[in-house]
Amino acid sequence: MMKSAFTIAAKDMRERIRDRSAFILGIIAPLGLAAIFSFVFNPIQDFEFDATYAVADQDGGPIAAVFVNEVLGGMERAGIIEVVAVDSVDAATALVEAASDPFGSEESADAAFVIPTGFSEVVQSDRPAAMEVIVNEGGGTEASVAVSVADGFASQLDATRLAVATTEHLGASGDRADAGTRFLSLPEAVGITNVTTTVKQLSGNTFYAAGLAIFFLFFTVQFGVNGLLDERNTGTLSRLLAAPIKRTSIILGKAITAFVLGVVSMSILVVATTLLFGADWGNPIGVLLLIVTGTMAAMGIMAIVAGFAKTAEQAGNFAGIIGMVLGFLGGTFFPIAQAGGVLAQMRFLTPHGWFMQGLGDLAGGNLADIVPAVVALLAFALATGSIALIRLRKGLAP
Amino acid sequence: MKSLVIAATNLRRFLRDRSNVFWVFIAPILMILILGASFGGDSTPRLGLLTEGTGELAADLSARLDASGDVRVAVFDSRDALVRAVERGELEAGLVIPAGYEETISAGGSIDVEFVTDSIDDTRAIRTSVESVITQQGSLLRAAQFVEAEGVGTFAEGLAAAAEVEPYLAPIEVTTTASGEAFSLSRLGRFDSSAHTMLLLYIFLTSTASSGALIQTRRLGVARRMISTPTTARTVLIGEGLGRYSVALVQGLFIMLGTWLVFGVDWGDPLGAAAVLLVFALVGSGAAMLMGALFNNDQQASGLGVLFGLGLAALGGCMVPLEVFKWLSPGLWKVAHVTPHAWGLEAFDNLVLDGGGLVDILPYLGILLAYAVVLYAIASWQLRRVLTR
């Protein structure tokens, strides 16, 4: 039984190599798209927070000094921002406006702070006080961080005012500035510690390489699976059936072809994207496990399509639709996990979603972490494979 | 005349295949829907919240986070689940309010909440939002602690007094003035930009992916037979091209009208939008004809058609807005303008954002028309070469 299956597979494989379609769909298309995607999307992923803020201190008082020297100065010393001191509101506005033109001069600021005359004095009284932030409309994160910095400083001042006012409300009296200083010497009630987790998502080039690879895998295995329909089309199927070959051997032969095409093209993609685009697929054993189970799942699904289609053309059309919808929902083109909600969870209804998550878990963890993905892919393969087998055998019934 | 007959035959062959209904009508709408739903609208970052302790202060903090509107709060009840969601990018960040939050603070001590992220650099914005809410609550807590430290009352008395005093204090205002030009992205509606880009992507993709039709016409021998009658290669090509062109037009019209009716997508001046559609569909069908003339195997052509259809769309700003290219990488912005997609998008931007009309977009239409003419000319020359060889 195995011998005839291998003979059929070998013949199919020779055909597929001679006709370059599998090569184009399985390797050239995903590799080309991975190159374009990484070219287009990388500048965005490489985007780093890099802000320049202008500050116009028209007050010159002690509280303004705290903002300029400690708040902004601290961020500058930490290398988070750059600070440019200017003398007038006009100069500050001009710098912010200059940021509108990406092709323009280097001299620009994402936002500017203006501390008005008399600010320090007013803050220590009960009167309303205000400071101004000039932001560039197109400034994005840099601009909103500037507003947050000012807000943060204002709330520190508010907190001091509130604390002093509360003690006064409860009967305390004394110099406000002294009380304020005593208040600020108390530790913050609530601090924030950063906990950095591992990253279980694929980054940049690896994401596009993996996404496109699994997307096109479904079309690559189709070349093997559809072999049965081709045989029927060319009339060679009835000859095969008349020969002393078991029906299962014929199906097995096609399955071997699909499996080899899938695993080989995926492996080539892994090596090529690693060498060409610096993709980082992770632990090779884990990757191989995911490729093998992923290919089996793809074969199962495509075999069902072949089982229900009448001609190879019809199968191709259905396969295109199914591959597209599953690929889209599975997050092969964009990280759908980030979309949140139901849409993000729906990726686990597709083999694509499990394959991508498996690679993500592999990237941030170890081999044991991919067990759920491998089991899910195997389950897809088993369920769809057995339906397809029954259907295909029936189709071959004399 | 002959071209029309060829076009009609081509169209009939196309329509006989039911799955084309999916590609022409369903796929684009599905994609616009998913993209619009997931990325177009709410970009408020998601914060997972885990409260390990109990008590009013922790509940108050979580209510304040919810009310701030700067984050979407998702409540978690286990640290593992929270960490996993952050690791997988399902959340931008997580916040853990530790056990003993209330006890420690009311005893005058200080305690840390945990801010969980996979990258500190990428989460500065959400971190600032969280910080500001914590400071907001913190100012009341600190005032209460100060009351106790100053010996004028207990923590509880202080907290009550602070809550009483707070509404009467004029907060220090931070006024924000915007200057400079707005990001044009932000001026578009939720589904607008994805509808514009998907229109161009799909018109082009459907055309190039079905470039196999011309190859089939050749392989079936129909093309050679037509050439042997008094029919030029150009007529054959125009006929086949017209078939593709009408599919592209119907698809484009469907996307435009459908998204306008269902999602209220703004397409700008109807005359201008129609002109962009007419010309861009010509470019798409021209690309399909060129591929159909160049390749000999329809499976290869449709594989490469997907590659070109998606690849050029990605380069041309259909996946990442052109404005973003302009800001992050001016070089990439220039490369984008090698593709017809970028010029089509510029035309739509002009129509929708600047309220332009047909006259304003003439330069873009001219460039697109030039693409179409060049594509058809090369395709026609190549087709004659392969058919008379």
Give me the DSSP letters along A187-225. PPSEEEEEEEPP--S--HHHHHHHHHHHHHHHHHHHHHH
Per-residue confidence (pLDDT) for residue B181, from 0 to 100: 53
How far apart, in whole angstroms, are the C-alpha atoms of residue B137 and residue B57? 9
Q: Do B125 and A191 touch (CB under 8 A)?
A: no
Strands in B72-76's sheet, in edge-to-edge order, are A190-196, B111-117, B93-97, B46-51, B72-76
Distance (Å) of CA B56 to CA A361, B103, B106: 37, 10, 11
**Residue in chain B nearest A311 by alpha carbon:** B17
pLDDT digits (tens, 9 = 90+) for A217-227: 998 898 888 88
Q: What are phi and psi of B33, to 5 degrees?
A: -60, -50
Total Cβ atoms within 10 A of residue A356: 27
Cβ-based contacts of B322 with chain A (< 8 Å): none
Q: Do B178 and A135 touch (CB under 8 A)?
A: yes
| Complete domains list, chain B, with CATH | 2-39+190-387 (no CATH), 43-168 (3.40.1710.10)
Instruction: Pick the last residue of a domain from A123, A157, A185.
Output: A185
A40 and A107 housed in the same domain: no
Per-residue confidence (pLDDT) for residue B275, from 0 to 100: 95
Closest CB to B311: pick one of A33, A44, A187: A33
**Residue in chain A nearest B110 by alpha carbon:** A189
- Tell me what ipTM this predicted complex has: 0.76
A259 and A370 housed in the same domain: yes
How far apart, in whole angstroms, are the C-alpha atoms of residue B318 and residue B309? 11
- In chain A, the number of structural domains is 2
Closest CB to A49: pick one of B121, B147, B168: B121
A20 and A162 housed in the same domain: no
A9 and A80 housed in the same domain: no
Of A60 and A107, which is predicted with more confidence?
A: A60
A38 and A59 housed in the same domain: no
A289 and A325 housed in the same domain: yes
How far apart, in whole angstroms, are the C-alpha atoms of residue B147 and residue B161? 9
pLDDT digits (tens, 9 = 90+) for B29-81: 877 777 766 665 556 788 999 998 778 888 888 889 888 878 888 899 999 99
A56 and A38 housed in the same domain: no
- Work out the minimum CA distance from B303 to partner chain A, whole angstroms: 5
CB–CB contacts below 8 A, A to B: 318
pLDDT digits (tens, 9 = 90+) for A184-237: 888 888 888 888 877 777 877 888 899 999 999 998 898 888 888 888 888 888
Of A137 and A247, which is predicted with more confidence?
A: A247
Q: Do A340 and B325 touch (CB under 8 A)?
A: no
Please choose, from the candidates B203, B213, B200, B204, the residue with its C-alpha nearest in 3D space to the C-alpha of residue B301.
B213
Q: What is the pTM of this model?
A: 0.77
Give the length of chain B: 389
How far apart, in whole angstroms, are the C-alpha atoms of residue B89 and residue B96? 17
Instruction: Kindly report the average pLDDT of chain A as a whole number.
Output: 85
Cβ-based contacts of B111 with chain A (< 8 Å): 189-191
How far apart, in whole angstroms, are the C-alpha atoms of residue B162 and residue B141? 8
Cβ-based contacts of A149 with chain B (< 8 Å): 128
How far apart, in whole angstroms, are the C-alpha atoms of residue B208 and residue B286? 9
Q: Is the pLDDT of residue A129 over 70?
A: yes
Cα dihedral: A368, B84, B125, B173 (round 10): -160
Cα dihedral: B263, A41, B330, A112 (round 10): 80
Q: Do B113 and A192 touch (CB under 8 A)?
A: yes
Are B254 and B25 a contacting pair, CB within 8 Å?
A: yes
pLDDT digits (tens, 9 = 90+) for A149-165: 888 888 888 888 889 88
Instruction: Pick the last residue of a domain from A185, A211, A228.
Output: A185
- Work out the minimum CA distance from A198 to partner chain B, whole angstroms: 6
Q: Is A194 among the domain residues?
A: no
Q: What is the span of the domain harbouring residue A152?
A: 51-185
Residue B75 bridge partners (DSSP):
B49
Per-residue confidence (pLDDT) for residue A48, from 0 to 100: 63
A283 and A169 housed in the same domain: no
Q: Is the pLDDT of residue A393 over 60?
A: yes
Per-residue confidence (pLDDT) for residue A45, from 0 to 100: 59
Are B117 and A193 a contacting pair, CB within 8 Å?
A: no
Strands A51-57 and B173-179: unpaired
pLDDT digits (tens, 9 = 90+) for B163-209: 888 888 888 888 888 775 544 444 455 567 778 888 899 899 888 88
Strands in A111-115's sheet, in edge-to-edge order, are A81-86, A51-57, A111-115, A130-136, B173-179
- Work out the minimum CA distance from A290 to partner chain B, whole angstroms: 18
A369 and A241 housed in the same domain: yes
- Work out the minimum CA distance from A108 to partner chain B, whole angstroms: 11
Check CB contact of B103 with chain A, cutoff 8 Å. no
Q: Is A61 among the domain residues?
A: yes
In chain B, DSSP assigns E strands to 46-51, 72-76, 93-97, 111-117, 173-179
Check CB contact of B80 with chain A, cutoff 8 Å. no
Q: Could you identify the residue written with the tokens 């884990």?
A: A286
Token readout for A67 is: 């903002």
Most A CBs within 10 Å: which of B146, B154, B164, B181, as the mutation test of the A interface?
B146
Residue A299's Cβ-side half-sphere holds a number of Cα atoms within 13 Å equal to 30
How far apart, in whole angstroms, are the C-alpha atoms of residue A96 and residue B179? 7
Token readout for B285 is: 């069908």
- Work out the minimum CA distance from B179 to partner chain A, whole angstroms: 5
